[in-house]
Amino acid sequence: MSFGAAGSTTVAVIIMIIGMSLQYTDKLPIPIKDNSTWFDKNQVHYPKPSFVNFILGYGTIMFAYSGQSAFPTIQHDMRRPDHFPKAIIRSYSVIIFYYLPVSIFGYIVYGDLLDTDNVLPLLPRGWIHDTVTVLITLHVMFGFIIFINPINQEFESLFKIPSRFGWKRLIVRTCVVIFIVFLAESIPSMSLLLDLIGGTSMAFLTFVFPGTFYLILRWRTTTCVSNADKPIKKWEYPINAVIILVGILGAVASIYAFCYTVATGNDLFKKPCYVNGGKS
């Protein structure tokens, strides 16, 4: 699953960069909402971001790097858990390689045309757009199985279901997926909610809780059975304190940005498709 998610994303990123390069050189048009085409890249505008948009962007970034909560179970399932630090460094290096070129180059090419969190609608129509859509779908399918696994294990532990294939396990995991689909269909405007979740719960899972738990586990430990049992060093206190403070401040700012955006007319609370007759 990991190789499938990473491989599909790698190919999708390469194709997206190729498509945006062709659009930047005016070799392919940029489709826009009124079904016309936009050719002149010199007319691209780069509006100054507001504080609210900056904080919402913080939430989006936090959601994009939200794998920390699953790290303990991933390390537990590894054949060589001692290789976990190497795996983390290499995986985050690859993720940065994915995100930075697409986000930076996408903003350079599209500018204010990029009014959503998604560059797919602006990619060249045809094989580029279709191939990237299929590859991103494959990435989500593979990644979904990885991230939902800890949730399934928690429910299976709660209901005392054996850790082997069986009808009880099948029912629990099917119910979890059905609930996730229902939740996704119930919130038509998902991007703003993801900004809120990323800036709040993901900020705590990424910044606040790991640093706090680390300090608690290492505080005044004197057994020295292993390197992890040695007393915490003094310079680790301010570093973890700064990390925790950044997470808390980011969470507060994300809540403010979310409330401000909703109060100024965002369509977050429009009716879902199963209520308004299937209309988007």
pTM of the model as a whole: 0.69
pLDDT band at 14 (very low <50, low <70, confident <90, very high): very high
Q: What's the rounded Cα separation, in Å, for the pair 245 and 57?
A: 18
Q: Which residue has the higher pLDDT, 239 or 112?
A: 239
Q: Which residue has the higher pLDDT, 4 or 273?
A: 4
Give yes or no for a contact between 139 and 8, defined as CB atoms under 8 angstroms apart: yes
What are 153-184's pLDDT values in tens digits?
888 988 888 888 888 899 999 999 999 888 87
* Per-residue confidence (pLDDT) for residue 219, from 0 to 100: 75
What are 266-278's pLDDT values in tens digits?
555 566 667 766 5
* Per-residue confidence (pLDDT) for residue 38, from 0 to 100: 56
* Per-residue confidence (pLDDT) for residue 73, from 0 to 100: 76
Q: Where are the domains of the chain?
A: 2-186, 187-280
What are 105-141's pLDDT values in tens digits?
888 888 877 766 678 888 888 899 999 999 999 988 8
pLDDT band at 29 (very low <50, low <70, confident <90, very high): confident
- Average pLDDT rounded to a whole number, residues 56-67: 74
Of the candidates 97, 143, 140, 88, the one whose C-alpha atom is nearest the C-alpha of residue 118 is 140
* Per-residue confidence (pLDDT) for residue 177, from 0 to 100: 92
**Would you call 15 helix, strand, or coil by DSSP?**
helix
Q: Which residue has the higher pLDDT, 4 or 131?
A: 131
Buried residues in 24-42 as b, exposed as e (16+ CB within 10 A): beeebebbeeeeeebeeee
Q: What's the rounded Cα separation, in Å, for the pair 186 and 218?
A: 43
* Per-residue confidence (pLDDT) for residue 134, from 0 to 100: 94
* Per-residue confidence (pLDDT) for residue 221, from 0 to 100: 60
What are 213-237's pLDDT values in tens digits?
888 877 766 555 555 566 778 888 8
| Percent of the chain surpassing pLDDT 70 | 83
Which of 2-16, 240-254, 260-274 is predicted least confidently?
260-274
Q: Hey, what are 158's tokens?
A: 């709660």
Residue 57 has pLDDT above 70, yes or no: yes
Which H or E run contains 31? strand 30-31
How many other β-carbons are positioned within 10 Å of the β-carbon of residue 266?
Answer: 14
